[in-house]
C-alpha cells in the first residue's frame, strides 16, 4: 500500500495519509534520556484524535520547546489524546540491556501499554520489532509527525520530573539542572562524589568515576 503525504499538511500529514490508507488509530512513540548517564530511560506513546480535536496548538519536538511550553502542552496531551502511556527503564535494566536495546524495549513497552492499541505505529529514529501492528521508523520523527512529537513531550516532561525528584535525594549532583545528561557540571560532581545508585555503569565516564556507592 502506498500513502501520500499532501503538501502543506505539516506535522499532521503522516497521520492523515495513514488514515486515508485505512489505518484509523495512529500511535507515535519516542524516548527521553537515552544519552543521559544517570536516571531512567523514559518512553512515551500517544494516539491523537483524528481531525481538529486532535490538533494541539504549539505542538512540536520537545527539544524545540521551553520547559514552560512543554508543561503546558503535556497537560493538553493528557487531557485530549485518545490514548497515552509512559514507561521507564531504570538504570540497572539499562546496564543489563545496553542502551540500544533499552531504547527499543522502552518504545515497545510504551506502545504495548496503549489502550486502545494503534492500527499503525510511528517511532522516532529506530525500527522496533515485536509490535502487533505495522510500523514505520522515522528519522527526526518528533519533528515531522504529530503523534511522535506528542510522545516526545510526554516522555521528556515525565523524565524531567523524575530527575527533579531524584535531586531531592542526591542534591550534590545538581540533577535538577542537567537532568542526568553528561554536562561539564555533572561530570565535575560525578568526579567529586563518585557515582550514585542511579548512575548507569554502561557509561564509561561513570565507570571511571569509581564504584557505585549507595547513599
Q: How confident is the model at residue 2 (pLDDT cuts 50, 70, 90)?
A: low
Residue 215 pLDDT more than 70?
no
In angstroms, the CA 106 to CA 112 distance is 10
pLDDT band at residue 142 using 50, 70 and 90 as cut-offs:
confident
Please tell me what DSSP assigns to residue 116. S
Return the closest-CA partner of residue 159 out of 47, 50, 74: 74
Reply yes or no on whether the pLDDT at 56 is more than 90: yes
**Spatial CA neighbour of 128 closest among 106, 150, 149:** 106
86 vs 30, 49, 210, CA distance in Å? 10, 18, 32
**pLDDT above 70 covers what percent of the chain?**
93
**Looking at the chain, how many residues does it have?**
215
If one counts every other C-beta atom within 10 angstroms of the C-beta of residue 192, the result is: 10
Rounded to the nearest 10 degrees, the angle between the axes of helix 13-20 and helix 146-169 is: 130
pLDDT at 1 over 60: no
Rounded Cα–Cα distance for residues 27 and 46 (Å): 5
- Worst-scoring range by mean pLDDT, 4-18, 20-34, 119-133, 171-185? 4-18
69-116: pLDDT as tens digits: 999 999 999 999 999 999 999 999 999 999 999 999 999 999 999 999
The set of cell numbers assigned to 127 is 525500527
Strongest mean pLDDT among 3-7, 19-23, 61-65, 178-182 = 178-182
What sign does the CA torsion over 98, 103, 106, 112 have?
Answer: negative
Can you tell me the mean pLDDT for 53-61? 91
For the cut 50, the answer to whether the pLDDT of residue 63 exceeds it is: yes
The predicted model gives 201-206 an average pLDDT of: 96
> Is-contact 69 76, C-beta < 8 A?
no
Query: What distance in Å separates the CA atoms of residue 27 and residue 82, rounded to the nearest whole number?
Result: 10
Q: For the chain, give percent helix, strand, coil, nearest 5.
A: 45, 15, 40
Tens-place pLDDT, residues 179-200? 999 999 999 999 999 999 999 9
The mean pLDDT of 40-67, rounded to a whole number, is 93
pLDDT at 23 over 70: yes
Pairing of strands 26-32, 120-124: parallel
**Do the beta carbons of residue 141 and residue 30 sit within 8 Å?**
yes
Place of cell 557540571: 185
Determine the Cα–Cα distance for residues 60 and 69; give it in Å rounded to an integer: 10
| pLDDT of 212 strictly over 80 | no
Amino acid at each position: 500500500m502506498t500513502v501520500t503525504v499532501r503538501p502543506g499538511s505539516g506535522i499532521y500529514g503522516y497521520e492523515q495519509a495513514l488514515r486515508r490508507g485505512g489505518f484509523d488509530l495512529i500511535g507515535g512513540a519516542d524516548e527521553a534520556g537515552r544519552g543521559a548517564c544517570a536516571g531512567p530511560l523514559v518512553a512515551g506513546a500517544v494516539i491523537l484524535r483524528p481531525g481538529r480535536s486532535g490538533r494541539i496548538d504549539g505542538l512540536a519536538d520537545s527539544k524545540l520547546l521551553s520547559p514552560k511550553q512543554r508543561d503546558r502542552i503535556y497537560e493538553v496531551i493528557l487531557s485530549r489524546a485518545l490514548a497515552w502511556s509512559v514507561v521507564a527503564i531504570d538504570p540497572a535494566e539499562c546496564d543489563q540491556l545496553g542502551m540500544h536495546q533499552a531504547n527499543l524495549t522502552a518504545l515497545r513497552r510504551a506502545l504495548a501499554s496503549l489502550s486502545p492499541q494503534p492500527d499503525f505505529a510511528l517511532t522516532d529514529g529506530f525500527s522496533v520489532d515485536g509490535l502487533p501492528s505495522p510500523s514505520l521508523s522515522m528519522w527526526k520523527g518528533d519533528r515531522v509527525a504529530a503523534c511522535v512529537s506528542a510522545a516526545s513531550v510526554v516522555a521528556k516532561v515525565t523524565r524531567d520530573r523524575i530527575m527533579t525528584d531524584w535531586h531531592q535525594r542526591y542534591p550534590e549532583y545538581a540533577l535538577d539542572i542537567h537532568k542526568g545528561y553528561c554536562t561539564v557540571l555533572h561530570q565535575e560532581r560525578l568526579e567529586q562524589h563518585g557515582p550514585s545508585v542511579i548512575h548507569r555503569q554502561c557509561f564509561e565516564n561513570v565507570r571511571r568515576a569509581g564504584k557505585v556507592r549507595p547513599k
